[in-house]
Amino acid sequence: MKQQLDDQGRLKHFLTIENLSRALLVEVLDSAERFAPVGERAVKNVPLLRGKTVANLFFEPSTRTRTTFELAAKRLSADIINLNIAASATSKGESLSDTLRTLEAMQCDMFVVRHQNSGAATFIASQVAPHISVINAGDGRYAHPTQAMLDMFTIRRAKQRFDGLVVAIVGDIAHSRVARSEIQALNTLGVAEVRVVGPKTLIPNKIEAFGAKVFNRIESGIAGADVVIMLRLQQERMNSALLPSAQEYFQAYGLTERRLKLAANDAIVMHPGPINRGIEIDSAVADGPQSVILSQVTHGIAVRMAVMSLVMGTQATTGAN
Amino acid sequence: MNIDVIELLEKMGAQLQQHVSDASHEDPIIIGVHTGGVWIAQYLHQYTANTSPVGELNIAFYRDDFSRIGLHPTVEPSKLPFDVNDRHLILVDDILYTGRTIRAAMNEIFDYGRPSSITLVALVERGGRELPIQPDIVGTQLNLTSSEHVKLLGPDPLRLELSEAKT
C-alpha cells in the first residue's frame, strides 16, 4: 500500500496499517501524545487546521467514530461537514464519483470515509484530486486504522512499552476490520504475542500468516495476557448460523471477572465500543478497575487530531495547493 | 562564539528582579518557550527564587508556517500547570528574531486564560523583526546578517553557536 505515502514517505492518506513502518506508527503515537493535553485545557482548540474543510463521508452509520472525528477536526479549528451519504445523494441515484466531484467543488481538503465495502477508502483515495487527503474511518472487513492506533496509544499509555506484551483479541475476528488493523499494528510495534480468541466459525482461515496465534477457548486464550481486547459481537452474526445464541456466546466467550483473573494481574481490558453488556463482556468487567474503555474514547480524539494534522501537513510541500 | 551565557543570565536575573519589584508584580509565573527558552526560564526561576512551577510552551500548534512546512516533529507538549488568569507572566525565549514565535506563544497563552500582564525576556535580541514585538529584558544584542544563524545549545553547558545559514 504505497498509495497512502507521499514521495517523501510521509502519510498523505491514512487508509490502512498494512506496510506502514514502526517509525511512522510511533510518529502517530508521539504526535497524539502532544495533542492529548489540548483536550484538558479551558479552550480545547488549537489553530493548526484553521481554514481547512473536512467532510465526514459516512456511507455506513456510526456515532462514536463520526463524533470523535468531528471533535478532532473542531479542536484543530477546521470546518467540518457531516454527510450521511446513505440517506442523501446516492439514494437519489448519484454515483460515487459524482458525489466526490461535488465535494471537491465545495473546496474540501480532507475526506473521512466510513463504508460498508472493503477497499472503499482506498478506491476513493485513488479518485480524489491531488490536494485532498483521505482518512479511512472503517471500510468493510478491510481496515480501521485510526481505531487500531487509538488502541495502541491506550496500550502504550497503560504499559509504557510494546515489547514483551501478550495481547489477546477476543470475539468475531472474521468480520472485524478492527482486529485486522490491530494485528498489523501490534506486530509492527513489536509485541511478544498476538492471540485471536473465538469460535472456529468466527476465526478466518490462515490468520496465523498475519502473525496471530489462534485459541478457541477464552480461558487458554487470555491466560497470562497483558491486554485483553474484546470485540463487539454483531447481532447479525447470530442470524447467519455462525453462532447459536447470545446467551451461549456469553457462556463460552463472555469476559467475566472470574475469567479475567486468568490474565496478568495488571491486565487492561479494552473494547472498541459500542459494548453489548452481557453478551461479550460482563458489566462488572466493563465498569471495573481494569477497564480502559472510556480512556479509549478520549484517546481517540487525540489520535485523530494527530492523523489529521500529519496528513494535512504533507500538503505543505506537495505544492498541490 | 565567545559569549559567556551564564554571565548574561546573571545580569538578566538581576534585571528581572528589579523589573518585577518596580512593577509590583506579585507571584509572577515564568514560562519558557521550547527548547532553549525553557532552559533560560529554569535558570531565572532559580535566580529569582520563584515559587510557581516553570511553565513550558511548545508552540508547534500555533505556528504560522503549518501550511508551508507541515507539522513540526517535536515530542514535548506544552505544560502550564497553573491558572494563568489574572497572573503576571514572564515569557522567556532564547533568540528573539522575527517575533513570530512570541506571537504564537501569546496566542497559545490566551487559550489558557487572560493574564494580567506578560513581560518578555530574551537571551539574545537580533534585528529582523517582522512583527511589532519588543523585549523588556535582553541578555545581549547581536547585529547579524540574514544569512547568519544563532542558536542556543544546552542545557549543560549553555552556549551560543553562530553559523552561516544554508542556502
Integer CA distances (angstroms), A76 to A35, A45, B154, B166, in order: 10, 6, 32, 33
Distance from the Cα of A26 to chain B's closest Cα (Å) equals 11
CA–CA min distance A47, chain B (Å): 6
pLDDT value, residue B4: 93
Which CATH number is A287's domain given? 3.40.50.1370
pLDDT tens-digit series, residues A98-126: 888 988 999 999 999 999 999 999 999 99
At A171, is the pLDDT very low, low, confident or very high (cuts 50, 70, 90)? very high
The answer to whether A37 contacts B73, with C-beta atoms less than 8 Å apart, is no
Quick one: A312 and A284 in the same domain? no
- How near does any CA of chain A get to the CA of B18, in Å? 33
- Please report residues of B whose CB lies closer than 8 A to that of A53: none
Same domain for A122 and A15: yes
**pLDDT score for A237:** 67
CB contacts, 8 Å: A48 with chain B: 61-62, 66, 71
Return the closest-CA partner of residue B6 out of B147, B158, B113, B110: B158
pLDDT of residue A196: 98
Q: Kindly determine whether residue A317 and residue B71, on different chains, have CB atoms separated by under 8 Å.
A: no
Residue A165 confidence (pLDDT): 98
pLDDT (tens digit per residue) in B110-165: 999 999 999 999 999 999 999 999 999 999 999 999 899 999 998 989 999 999 86
Instruction: Tell me what the pLDDT averaged over chain B comes to.
Output: 92
Looking at beta carbons, which residues of chain B come within 8 Å of A30? 75
Q: What is the mean pLDDT of residues A20-26?
A: 96
Co-location of A138 and A150 in the same domain: no
Mean pLDDT of A178-193: 97
pLDDT band at A62 (very low <50, low <70, confident <90, very high): confident
Query: Dihedral of CA A193/A198/A202/A206: which sign?
Result: positive
A27 and A138: one domain? yes
Quick one: what percent of chain A has pLDDT higher than 90?
A: 78
Domains of chain B, residue spans? 5-164
CA torsion, points A287, A307, B73, B9, in degrees to nearest 10? -60
Contact at 8 Å (CB) between A79 and A109? no
Same domain for A221 and A303? no
Kindly state the average pLDDT of the residues A56-80: 93
Please tell us whether the domain made up of B5-164 is placed in CATH 3.40.50.2020: yes
- At B80, is the secondary structure helix, strand, or coil? coil
pLDDT band for position A89 (cuts 50, 70, 90): low
Q: Residue A218 in 3-state DSSP?
A: helix
Name the band, by pLDDT with cuts 50, 70 and 90, for residue A321: very low
Q: What is the mean pLDDT of residues A14-26?
A: 96
Asked if residues B87 and B119 have their Cβ atoms less than 8 Å apart, the reply is: no
Question: Which residues of chain B are at the A interface, by a Cβ-Cβ cutoff of 8 Å?
Answer: 58, 60-62, 66-71, 73-79, 107-108, 111-113
- Of the candidate ranges A76-90, A165-179, B9-23, the one whose mean pLDDT is the lowest: A76-90
Do A238 and A311 belong together in one domain?
no
- Interface pTM, i.e. ipTM: 0.78
Q: Which residues pair with A134 in a beta bridge?
A: A111
Domain that holds residue A221: 145-292
For residue A320, pLDDT beyond 50 = no
Residue A212 burial class via C-beta count within 10 angstroms: exposed 0-12, middle 13-18, buried 19 and up: buried
A104 burial type by CB count under 10 A (0-12 exposed, 13-18 middle, 19+ buried): middle
Task: Give the global pTM.
Answer: 0.89
Domain count, chain A: 2
